Structure 1
């Protein structure tokens, strides 16, 4: 990878500032690992009709919320104490934005857990679990790769995640059409299929948040904001 994408964050005369930036990055990745686990466990609870596991996921969300508050406070203190400029300011601002996305991923995992509890209480497994497994695997990979791109300051990998988001949207739309067909074939499927539809929607939103994290990685590395731009424009920024 080009030298400009090396980890230049945390290279200051002040060792204390170095430590603060490294701690911020470490805490962010710990929160990322927590929400990754939340999504994985929520989907497992759904597929396995495991109400107990789903309840654990639901309760764990409070810890994710606490991590968000702690990270926001730490980032705010760094800005107040150090008044960072250029690349360091981009890092701190990006972490603040990405933490909000991680918290929302946690919220989506909690939604899936609540739906898993509801469906497990209803008994019969509804149609659509094949689609859930497929999309869940896709967005979990996106989230993992987004966090990895942050760790390695890899804007090229972040760009690939942005491209994957369109595929997830297409997969979600196809799965929704399949579930609508099930509901039309037998109206008794409507309630359960609607619950699965909401699960799919939550997973699609996880993909959106992974894409947002990827966009912020590009901002950190390249210094340009690629939100609300075309993939072609993002390619220009990363390849420029």
Structure 2
């Protein structure tokens, strides 16, 4: 079902389409930033890490630019109902994307540190978890583009798997730290990186909730698993 209808004013449609396109450009940039950040960890690529850090300013500028465009369209068009929900969702989504970019910067800090060869094995688990979150971000951006409720629900449920990966990583890191106390400084860095990846998963889940809100007209934040399960059952996902 197409939830993005047409308006009497073709110019209004063009303005909305332009803003949505800019969101996807920003999303693509953040997705690339995150994928590169994960790559810096597994490959210990300090040059790529510095490129990720440098690209953050572009993400920040895009957030400001899109936010200003949304404010202008509210002032000029005074949108109501689903149009207003769409603008609200865009403003909230770009804020989440900017924070994902910040987390990508934090992930890169691991690549900028010197890990002895015997400690590099503790980075292996980050690769799988990180690539899972990159895919999650890619999929939620795709769901946002099409305002696809079923895809948003599917991505939303991925957060549980990321949480399980996180808990497994914590157990592994704690074991490594007890067996090798000299690794504690490096373990702390990896722990911070793992938490950043987990936060990105939660931010992707937030974007899913914004999609739910746009389509259903209901705020699904902090509603509890039973409400989400009812939404899933209703849409047979």
Q: TM tier, shorter chain? A: over 0.9
Match of 1:59 in 2: 54
Query: Does the Cα contact within 8 Å between 2:155 and 2:208 map onto a contact in 1?
Result: yes
Q: Distance in 2 between matches of 1:39 and 1:80?
A: 34
Q: Distance in 1 between matches of 2:189 and 2:69?
A: 38
- Matching of residues 17-36 of structure 1 within 5 Å: 17-36=12-31
Q: Distance in 2 between matches of 1:132 and 1:110?
A: 15
Deviation at 1:127, TM superposition (A): 3.1
Q: Match for 1:49 among 44, 47, 69? A: 44
Query: Does the Cα contact within 8 Å between 1:159 and 1:214 map onto a contact in 2?
Result: yes
Deviations 1:45-103 (A, max 9, x none): 11111111100101110110001100110111111110101111010000000110000
Q: Distance in 1 between matches of 2:40 and 2:116?
A: 13
* Gap change, CA 1:171 and 1:35, over 3 Å in 2: same
Query: Does the Cα contact within 8 Å between 2:41 and 2:127 map onto a contact in 1?
Result: no
TM-score normalised to structure 2 length: 0.94
Query: Does the Cα contact within 8 Å between 1:159 and 1:235 map onto a contact in 2?
Result: no
Match of 1:130 in 2: 124
Q: Distance in 1 between matches of 2:225 and 2:49?
A: 37
Query: Does the Cα contact within 8 Å between 2:42 and 2:124 map onto a contact in 1?
Result: no
Instruction: Show structure 1 runs of 5+ residues with no match.
Output: none
Deviations 1:219-238 (A, max 9, x none): 11111111112233124346
Match of 1:108 in 2: 103
Q: Distance in 1 between matches of 2:148 and 2:12?
A: 23
Q: Match for 1:147 among 141, 148, 155? A: 141
TM-score normalised to structure 1 length: 0.93
Q: Distance in 2 between matches of 1:15 and 1:167?
A: 43
In the alignment, structure 1 residue 12 sits paired with structure 2 residue 25: no
* Gap change, CA 1:148 and 1:177, over 3 Å in 2: same
Query: Does the Cα contact within 8 Å between 1:42 and 1:54 map onto a contact in 2?
Result: yes
Q: Distance in 1 between matches of 2:121 and 2:224?
A: 35
Query: Does the Cα contact within 8 Å between 2:38 and 2:131 map onto a contact in 1?
Result: no
The count of residues paired between Structure 1 and Structure 2 equals 233
Q: Distance in 2 between matches of 1:34 and 1:8?
A: 24
Deviations 1:24-44 (A, max 9, x none): 100001100000000100111
Q: Distance in 1 between matches of 2:36 and 2:96?
A: 19
Query: Does the Cα contact within 8 Å between 1:61 and 1:106 map onto a contact in 2?
Result: yes
Q: Match for 2:162 among 156, 168, 181? A: 168
